[in-house]
């Protein structure tokens, strides 16, 4: 019986040592054997001799657990022998990477309670020394969450992997507050048939980049609005056979994320803006924006993005922005502005 108690005590000791290392140490906060002894007594009421700590630390390390130490050479009885110092648990996620995940969590639009719960779980992946500095930060939940699309995503992923075409209906909401399939010109439900290429995650939604049958360009669909998705036997059209790709374009070039996702080949757009918008220009376009000229009250900027994205940005910041090129985009923005005037009535 005494042997069994000793065996259980040894197993409990080595487990507690592992717990102490996991919760109290990391690369920047190693522990001495004495500090481990102190934590064992304070946290678990266990008194363990120094030699036992050393043996169990070595066992954990030799067993392949992420237990790390610093070794120095010392002379014992005239012979050199290694001395293990500064023990710590090498966490799967270092603190800098965990902070990135925490930022992504707080920048999400998940419900605040869910963000807090997930944040606490993430913190438990690191030692107690980890501090994300976000105790008083509250994220802004989205007013409405997109519908669930896990089943659709699984089908789309399979089709992309197998390079197969898919068919689906693309839904929209109507005045009754319910989803309805899109219609053809004759009023029938429109069945889409596309070659899927890539799934993109942006702004709390998943989007499918694909090529519609009979088209030469790239189309984009919200995954949560796709219904009755079917993977077909016909092979998908090769991306390199599309005109935009043949001209040296890439799928990623056809996308621009700015409070939504916009598609189309990037074009050089020019616009004039009130100088007070410079912070918005830098925030939204980053290094893609080139300042052509500036005076006290007006800046002229060039940016290469899809025309649809430039149009949306200009209308959002109207009347402080005037698009000057390309000419067809100037016409589209003017028509949109005229439509607003008609909607609200002339002054």
Query: For 227-286, how does the pLDDT look when each residue is reduced to its tens digit (9 = 90+)?
Result: 999 999 999 999 888 876 555 556 666 666 655 677 778 899 999 999 889 888 988 888
Q: Residue 325: which of 264, 270, 266, 288 has the closest Cα? A: 270
* 298: number of Cβ within 10 Å: 13
Percent share of the chain, pLDDT over 90: 50
Q: Strands, E, within 131-190: which ranges?
A: 164-173, 179-181
pLDDT at residue 144 in the model: 64
pLDDT at residue 31 in the model: 95
Tell the burial category of 172 from Cβ atoms under 10 Å away from its Cβ (0-12, 13-18, 19+).
Answer: exposed
Q: Chain-wide mean pLDDT for the chain?
A: 86
Please report, for the chain, the start and end positions of each structural domain, with discontinuous segments joined by +.
2-89, 92-142, 150-255, 265-344
Q: Which two tokens stand for residue 123?
A: 């913190």
User: Which residue has better confidence, 8 or 292?
Assistant: 292
Q: Which two tokens stand for residue 206?
A: 């998943």
Helix, strand, coil percentages in the chain from 3-state DSSP, rounded to 5: 40, 30, 30
Is 0.85 surpassed by the pTM of this model? no
The rounded distance, in Å, linking the Cα atoms of 167 and 13 is: 60
CATH architecture type of domain 2-89: Orthogonal Bundle (1.10)
The rounded distance, in Å, linking the Cα atoms of 251 and 271 is: 26
pLDDT at residue 284 in the model: 85
Task: Give the chain's length.
Answer: 347
CB 63 within 8 A of CB 56: no
100-105 average pLDDT score: 90
User: Which residue has better confidence, 261 or 1?
Assistant: 261
Percent share of the chain, pLDDT over 70: 90
Q: Strands, E, within the chain: which ranges?
A: 67-76, 79-89, 164-173, 179-181, 191-202, 205-212, 219-222, 226-235, 255-257, 261-263, 266-274, 289-294, 298-306, 321-325
Q: Are strands 219-222 and 179-181 parallel, antiparallel or unpaired?
A: unpaired
Fold of 265-344: Alpha-Beta Plaits (3.30.70)
Q: Which two tokens stand for residue 162?
A: 């197998």
- Model pLDDT for residues 314-335, shown as the tens digit of each residue: 999 999 999 999 999 999 999 9
Alpha carbon 114 to its chain's center: 17
Q: Strands, E, within 53-107: which ranges?
A: 67-76, 79-89
Region label for 154, one of left (φ > 0), alpha (ψ between -120 and 50) or beta (otherwise): alpha
Largest Cα–Cα distance in the chain? 99
pLDDT at residue 6 in the model: 47
pLDDT at residue 171 in the model: 92
The rounded distance, in Å, linking the Cα atoms of 89 and 206 is: 37
DSSP state letter for 16: H
pLDDT band at 175 (very low <50, low <70, confident <90, very high): confident
pLDDT at residue 155 in the model: 95
pLDDT at residue 326 in the model: 96
pLDDT above 60 for 214: yes
CB 313 within 8 A of CB 329: no
């Amino acid at each position: 019986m005494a042997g069994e108690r000793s065996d259980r005590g040894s197993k409990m000791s080595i487990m507690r040592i592992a717990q102490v290392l996991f919760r109290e140490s990391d690369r920047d906060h190693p522990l001495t054997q004495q500090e481990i002894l102190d934590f064992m007594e304070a946290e678990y009421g266990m008194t363990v001799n120094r030699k036992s700590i050393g043996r169990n630390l070595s066992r954990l390390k030799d067993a392949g657990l992420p237990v790390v130490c610093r070794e120095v050479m010392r002379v014992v009885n005239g012979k050199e022998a290694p001395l293990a110092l500064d023990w710590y648990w090498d966490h799967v996620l270092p603190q800098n990477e965990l902070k990135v995940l925490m930022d992504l969590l707080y920048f999400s639009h998940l419900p605040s309670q869910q963000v807090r719960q997930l944040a606490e779980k993430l913190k438990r992946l690191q030692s107690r020394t980890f501090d994300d500095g976000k105790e008083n930060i509250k994220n802004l939940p989205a007013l409405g969450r997109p519908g669930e699309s896990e089943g659709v995503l699984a089908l789309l992923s399979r089709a992309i992997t197998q390079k197969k075409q898919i068919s689906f209906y693309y839904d929209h909401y109507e005045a009754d507050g319910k989803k309805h399939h899109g219609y053809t010109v004759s009023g029938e439900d429109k069945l889409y048939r596309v070659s899927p290429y890539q799934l993109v995650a942006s702004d709390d939604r998943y989007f499918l980049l694909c090529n519609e049958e009979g088209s030469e360009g790239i189309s984009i669909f919200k995954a949560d609005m796709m219904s009755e998705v079917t993977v077909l036997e016909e092979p998908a059209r090769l991306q390199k056979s599309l005109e935009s790709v043949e001209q040296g374009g890439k799928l990623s070039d056809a996308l621009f994320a700015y409070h939504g996702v916009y598609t189309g080949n990037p074009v050089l757009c020019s616009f004039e803006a009130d100088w007070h918008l410079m912070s918005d220009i830098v925030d939204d376009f980053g290094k893609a924006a080139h300042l052509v000229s500036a005076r006290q009250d007006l800046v002229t900027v060039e940016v290469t993005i899809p025309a649809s994205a430039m149009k949306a940005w200009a209308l959002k910041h109207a009347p402080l922005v005037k698009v000057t090129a390309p000419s067809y985009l100037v016409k589209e923005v003017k028509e949109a502005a005229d439509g607003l005037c008609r909607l609200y009535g002339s002054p």
